[in-house]
Amino acid sequence: MAVTISENTKPSRCLGGHRRRLIVTIVLGCATVVAGSPRAQSVDSTGTAIDDGPLTLVADLSKRTLSLRLGETVRESYPIAIGTDSKPTPTGTFRIRKVVWNPAWVPPDEKWAKGKLAQPPGAKANPMKLVKIFFREPDYYIHGTSDTESLGDRASHGCLRMNPDDAYRVARYLMTHGGSPRDENWFWRVLHLRSETKTVYLDNPIQLTITH
């Protein structure tokens, strides 16, 4: 798979002073992805279907990685931070059904969140950053983090943290393969109108397996 990214660096209120505007084009060999199927088949230049196998995600807690697989092939792999010993990330098999762009953050009723203030979408102090990807509602999801030095460590309260740019890529990939794609104008609004929360439900939920 080839991934082409065009990048614009502009001042931002949310990603540590700068925002990298990413426009991602995914090409599987010489094929293009046909969305709307949980198997996310590709077609070659003649229109012949190529069965890449279903898209699945695997989070390996021991390796601190999140991998995207088509069939048995790992297409992408990203570093993650996982839950602490006292707030471990749950293991098992889950279905990703909901992606929330520009989420607000409300402090949970937990001791560690005492005194913390709610943060609106796009706020610099919003720990969710650009996107949150639910795998076990309401408490567990994949999300970006400004504390990228925590990646590779036990640092979260059970969620899977990623570099915000990586979370953006994964969320777009899930929407395309989950049968709920959007065009570039839609993503332009997500990136530039940060006060707008947008929730996307996947027509074809994607499997996430979390292993020790």
Nearest alpha carbon to residue 186 among 174, 196, 177: 196
Tell which wins on pLDDT, 170 or 46. Answer: 170
Q: In degrees to the nearest 10, what's the CA dihedral of 186, 143, 205, 138?
A: -120
Q: Are 179 and 204 spatial neighbours (Cβ–Cβ below 8 Å)? A: yes
Strand pairing class (92-101; 131-136) = antiparallel
Lowest-pLDDT choice from 27-36, 75-84, 122-131, 161-170 = 27-36
Listed by start position, the domains of the chain span: 54-211
Confidence of residue 10 (pLDDT cuts 50, 70, 90): very low
For the whole model, what pTM was predicted?
0.77
How far is 152 from 148, CA to CA, in rounded Å? 9
Give pLDDT tens digits for 33-50. Answer: 433 334 445 544 444 445
How far is 114 from 136, CA to CA, in rounded Å? 24
Which helix or strand (DSSP H or E) is residue 176 part of?
helix 164-177
Nearest alpha carbon to residue 94 among 211, 203, 206: 206
Query: What is the pLDDT, as a whole number, of residue 53?
Result: 83
CA 148, chain centre distance (Å): 15
**CATH number of the 54-211 domain:** 2.40.440.10
- Evaluate if residue 24 carries a pLDDT over 60: no
Query: What is the pLDDT, as a whole number, of residue 78?
Result: 98
Give pLDDT tens digits for 95-137. Answer: 999 999 999 999 988 888 899 999 999 999 999 999 999 999 9
How far is 177 from 56, CA to CA, in rounded Å? 10
